[in-house]
Amino acid sequence: MAPGELKLSENNVTTNVNDRSQHGMWSSRLFFVLAAVGSAVGLGNIWKFPYMMGEQGGGAFFLIYLFCIALIGFPVMAAEIMIGREGRMSPVNSVLKLARESNRSKNWAFMGWTGVFGGILILSFYAVVAGWIMFYIWRLFSGEFNGADAADVEFKWKTFVGNPWSVFAWFTAFMAVTIFFVARGVNKGLELAIRICMPLLFVLLIVMLVYGLTQGGLMDAVRFMFDFDFSKMKWDTPVAAMGHAFFTLSIGMGAIMAYGAYMPREGSVKSAVGIIVVIDTLVAILAGLALFSIVFALKLDPAVGTSLLFKTAPVAFGNLPLGALFGGLFFLFVGFAAFTSAISLTEPAIAYFVERFNTNRVVVALVIGVATWLLGILSVLSSNVLGEFTLFLNWTFMDFFDKFTTYLVLPIVGLVISIFVGWFVPWERVRKALDLSSTVAWIVWIVCIRFVAPLAILTVFFFTIYVEVILPLLPNQQ
Ligand code: TRP
């Protein structure tokens, strides 16, 4: 290692002497868990998960997804939190610090860099969808869908997304709120958002569940979700399920790593991971049950792709008792979930640039916010002006940002994280940092992080390339 680097690192280390991050710390272990749950529970659970179930044949998708959560999600999330908490800095610098202390190449910081850019890429389309959600909160409460039929709802949807200005306005509003909170810092911003949103999120989930379960479609919903009929499985289902496991847990990008840097030393990583993973999965299941119960109560067809939330759900709410009220509350629930996820997407970039330029967080947040906002315009236009413009494989810009990050960036970074922690950081340190004193737990964990997770991720990765890139390029064989 060059002497210059050592110098730089010593400087970095001195900012950490008290085992605190310069960006602030969660006020308790509970706040770390709530923040991480807030990041994990988002549009992935409520927008993507149900429609992927619909597209991928329900139960078979669900079963594979559960396997991925357990075998990949669990170890990779623990590894991310551990790196963050050991480093106490942005993902780039935490990885650098750990690599240096393990006498490894500083190129490992690559995974931190992907977090900087990956977060911006994801937020750029995520905030557009969140903007749609904001408009639909308002639309549902206003009673606009009362008595509407599928054609009305579809027309209203098309008119909305077909107009770039309205989508742009809602997207901009969502970005502004997000950046406002993020700029205020870990305690006054992120923690405040979490304090406000998380209790409401849980209350609304319970309200929606009770409402959904009383509408009469529950048994069909259960059958749809838990009927493990593998004949319905498409052969790319594993790919979709694994990519989604990364996305829904917010792993593979450093978001949870950044949050881990603010986690107090007391409190174990493994129980935190357990809680986060279980709650994220439960919310997906419960929100899915609520949504499908409502959809099946009216015998609507769930397999409508991306628009389940914007076409099918409004028809259902519009024709059920008190549907405007509960529909509005449902979209409010989705909005809170999206917001507490969005604030985590910029944290790796913001923390890094604050450290790098030793500058004010507000300035950095504004710059990152504007960059994301500019990039997001491409996704805003994907449903209208640029709707016909596809990059390749029929992907609009929005599809591209979504699939590129979910199928490519997250798994690759997840792979690198598991290899780094599994093979390159001294195992004594990992074991101590994760407090895995029980031999059985340690063996399970190390086998997962060394072998199971990397191999599973590699499988996803090659499958994805095959399904998404090579297959469509082959001449049509039918
Ligand atoms: N997990 C969130 C969801 O399910 C999205 C999200 C937030 C995310 N932070 C992330 C996805 C970091 C990948 C990486 O909606």
Cα 51 to averaged position of ligand 1 atoms, centre (Å): 17
35 lines ligand 1 (CB under 6 A): no
> Could you tell me the distance, in angstroms and rounded to a whole number, from the CA of residue 148 to the centre of ligand 1?
33
Structure-token pair, residue 148: 């509407």
Sequence-ordered alpha helix ranges (H) in 227-311: 237-249, 255-260, 269-297
List helix spans (H) across 147-190.
150-162, 164-183, 185
| Rounded Cα distance, 181 and 275, in Å | 25
Helices marked H in 70-109:
74-87, 91-101
SS3 284: helix
Distance CA 474, CA 88 (A): 48
Name the nearest CA neighbour of 108 among 83, 86, 81, 88.
83
pTM here is 0.90
Please report the atom of ligand 1 found closest to the CA of residue 45.
4
Give the residue ranges of the chain where pLDDT is below 70: 1-18, 229, 232-233, 235-236, 303-306, 392-393, 464, 468, 476-478
Give pLDDT tens digits for 246-300.
Answer: 999 999 999 999 999 999 988 889 899 999 999 999 999 999 889 889 888 888 8
Q: Is 282 helix (H, G, I), strand (E, B) or coil?
A: helix
- Determine if ligand 1 sits within 6 Å of the CB of residue 40: yes
Q: Does residue 247 have its Cβ closer than 6 Å to ligand 1?
A: yes
Question: Among 130, 86, 195, which residue's Cα sits nearest to residue 333?
Answer: 130
Regarding the beta carbon of 344 and ligand 1, being less than 6 Å apart is answered: yes
Q: Give, rounded to a whole angstrom, the gap between the first and last alpha carbons of the chain.
A: 57
Tokens of 347: 């944290």
pLDDT at 476: 63
- Point out the ligand 1 atom lying closest to the alpha carbon of residue 253: 14
CB within 8 A of 240, min separation 6: which ones? 52, 55, 56, 61
Distance between CA atoms of 210 and 322, rounded to whole angstroms? Answer: 13
pLDDT of 478 reads 47
pLDDT, tens digit, 9 for 90 and up, residues 413-448: 999 999 999 999 999 999 999 988 899 999 999 999
Distance 41 CA to ligand 1 centre (A): 8
Residue in the block written with tokens 């507000």: 362
Q: Is the CB of 127 under 6 A from ligand 1?
A: no
| pLDDT value of residue 453 | 93
Please report the pLDDT score of residue 12 as a whole number: 43
pLDDT at 95: 95
pLDDT score, position 300: 83
Residue 138's CB: how many other CB atoms inside 10 A? Answer: 13
Determine whether the shortest distance from the Cβ of 414 to ligand 1 is under 6 A.
no
- Nearest Cα residue to atom 9 of ligand 1: 250
